[in-house]
Chains A and B, each alone.
Chain A
Amino acid sequence: MNNYRLLPVYVVAFFSLTAHAASDVAPVSNILYKNDCSACHMAYQPGLLPARSWQKIMNNLADHFGENAELDDTDRKAIMDYAMQNAADTSSFKRSKSIMKSLSSNDTPLRISETKYIKRKHRELSNKHVKDNPKVKSLSRCEACHTKADTGSYSEREINIPGFGRWDD
């Protein structure tokens, strides 16, 4: 009898665990961050880089990978704070932890695609899949192949490489 009384608790616990597992990095929850970053590219989840990287990026928006992405100081600080507070080094999500494990303590990567973990996960791909693929072009366009990248989900079964389809290791 006692066991049945606890059933709702088990059900809730089960679903919250699976819901968490579906996201590999914490989804973006800040509107300013989402709108400003996604004006030009996918709003990469803060949990894809350590806080020190976000700090460096947000302090050099005049040269943002060759583009000018300057913001007024209020918005810049709000976005930097959100990114640093939700960065990979303090996240409990699995891919954030894996990214951190692949970095040494003095690494301050500016590109997510430069981190050892992300490089390792993509090492089987060749130019035909990415660089020479007109619908992909660069590893920085996560959403070109990871169909749920904008939700923080990068599971292998959600991959669809344009022109090549699903990916199986």
Chain B
Amino acid sequence: MFKKLSLLLILTWSISAQAAVVDELLSSYKSEGAGNFSASNGEALWNKDFPDPKEPGKVRNCSTCHGKNLQAKGKHASTGKVIDPIAPSANKERLTDAKFIEKWFKRNCKWVLGRECTPQEKGDFLTFLRTK
């Protein structure tokens, strides 16, 4: 009983920590000029292919490293390092650290899109990902 209760508490705590971190990021994106956020636009960005600047004819997208299934582990395209699932339902550490989220947005948007993502794109993506 006590074990169940504490598990529930931990779960609630991690979900609310996640909600607070994401909500705060979303409102900061709005203050940077973004409008309302759309999960379906976020999903479209997740699935979109961008030309690979290194290998003509090939494409890069989010799943190049994170894999097609958001709840499964991914694999770094060049080093082969295993990447823990990106979906918060499969990995409770996801979306709990604003600094971590911004660090990887910067790196991965530049690698996939060839530029930083806009506040609108980042907000759409987080709105999509938090439901996964």
Chain A residues with a Cβ under 8 A of chain B: 38-41, 62, 65-72, 137, 140-141
In the complex, which of the residues B79, B103, B106 contacts A40, with contact meaning CB atoms closer than 8 Å? B79
B79 lies within 8 A of A68 (CB): no
Q: Write the B25-51 contact mask toward A (1 if CB under 8 angstroms, else 0).
A: 000000000000000000000000000
Chain B residues with CB below 8 A from A62, complex form: 110
Chain B residues with a Cβ under 8 A of chain A: 54, 76, 78-81, 99, 103, 106-108, 110-111
> Could you list 22 examples of A-B contacts with CB < 8 Å?
A38-B81, A40-B76, A40-B79, A40-B81, A41-B76, A41-B79, A41-B81, A65-B78, A66-B54, A67-B107, A68-B107, A68-B108, A68-B110, A68-B111, A70-B103, A70-B106, A70-B107, A70-B110, A72-B99, A72-B103, A140-B79, A141-B80
Nearest-neighbour CB distance to chain A for B113, whole angstroms, equals: 11
Main secondary structure, interface of A, reads loop
Nearest-neighbour CB distance to chain A for B25, whole angstroms, equals: 16
How far is it, in angstroms, between the C-alpha of A70 and the C-alpha of B81 when the chains are bound?
Answer: 18
**Complex: chain A residue closest to B79, CB-CB:** A41
How far is it, in angstroms, between the C-alpha of A140 and the C-alpha of B110 when the chains are bound?
Answer: 24
Nearest-neighbour CB distance to chain A for B116, whole angstroms, equals: 10
**Complex: chain B residue closest to A134, CB-CB:** B80
A71 lies within 8 A of B78 (CB): no
How far is it, in angstroms, between the C-alpha of A141 and the C-alpha of B78 when the chains are bound?
Answer: 11
Chain A residues with CB below 8 A from B78, complex form: 65-67
